[in-house]
């Protein structure tokens, strides 16, 4: 992608290429198998038959960051974990995306005041694309977050800015 990105002026051909690339990208967001606290139970439920994340092309949870393009930070991020989380994010293929799922990942949640060991927002460690609030958010909320991420991917362009 880096080969053709930022070379062409916006135009009909570029717009069509953008549409095809973005369509294929947003319909095949592969999340990493990665859950760090109670919110992960809701993330797992999202992949089960009742909620069926496969409808969005995101059912293929990958066991390695190299094959994943979405990190769903589902749970409490401790300072001890933050370094590992960052390393996993760096190993992911680009373009890569992050969803902060739940109050803990967004702001420290119930640990915000007294949790000396908890990072007060995973956006201090990795860039976050979509925030899904709740303690824990229900699977429907995570699906909504994935749809908002799809909207964001739709706006990508290879054209010169
Ligand atoms: S937001 Fe609530 S449910 Fe999610 S990890 Fe934190 S305490 Fe657990």
Q: What is the pLDDT at residue 23?
A: 93
Q: What is the pLDDT at residue 82?
A: 96
Between CA 126 and CA 49 the distance in angstroms is 31
Q: List the one residue out of 89, 86, 91, 74 whose CA is nearest residue 141.
A: 74
pTM for the full model? Answer: 0.91
Q: What is the pLDDT at residue 18?
A: 87
Ligand 1 atom closest to the Cα of residue 37 is 5
76 lines ligand 1 (CB under 6 A): yes
| Domains of the chain (ranges, CATH numbers) | 30-154 (3.40.50.12280)
| List of E strands, the chain | 70-74, 97-101, 130-132
Quote the mean pLDDT of the chain. 91
136 lines ligand 1 (CB under 6 A): yes
In the predicted model, is pLDDT for residue 2 greater than 70? no
At 98-122, the pLDDT tens digits run 999 999 999 999 999 999 999 999 9
At 46-87, the pLDDT tens digits run 999 999 899 999 989 999 999 999 999 999 999 999 999 999
Cα 68 to ligand 1 centroid, rounded to whole Å:
24
39 lines ligand 1 (CB under 6 A): yes
């Amino acid at each position: 992608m880096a080969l053709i990105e930022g070379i062409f002026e916006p135009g009909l051909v570029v717009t069509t290429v953008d549409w095809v690339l973005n369509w294929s990208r947003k319909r095949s967001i592969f999340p990493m198998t990665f859950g760090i606290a109670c919110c992960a139970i809701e993330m797992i439920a999202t992949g089960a038959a009742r909620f069926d994340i496969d409808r969005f092309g995101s059912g293929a949870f990958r066991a390695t960051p190299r094959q994943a393009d979405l990190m769903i930070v589902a749970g409490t991020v401790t300072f001890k974990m933050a370094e590992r989380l960052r390393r996993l994010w760096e190993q992911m293929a680009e373009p890569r995306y992050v969803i902060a799922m739940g109050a803990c990942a967004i702001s420290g949640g119930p640990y915000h005041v007294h949790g000396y060991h908890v990072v007060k927002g995973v956006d201090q460690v990795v860039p976050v694309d979509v925030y899904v609030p709740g303690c824990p958010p229900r699977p429907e909320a995570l699906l909504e977050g994935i749809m908002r991420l799809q909207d964001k991917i739709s706006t990508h362009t290879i054209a010169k800015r």
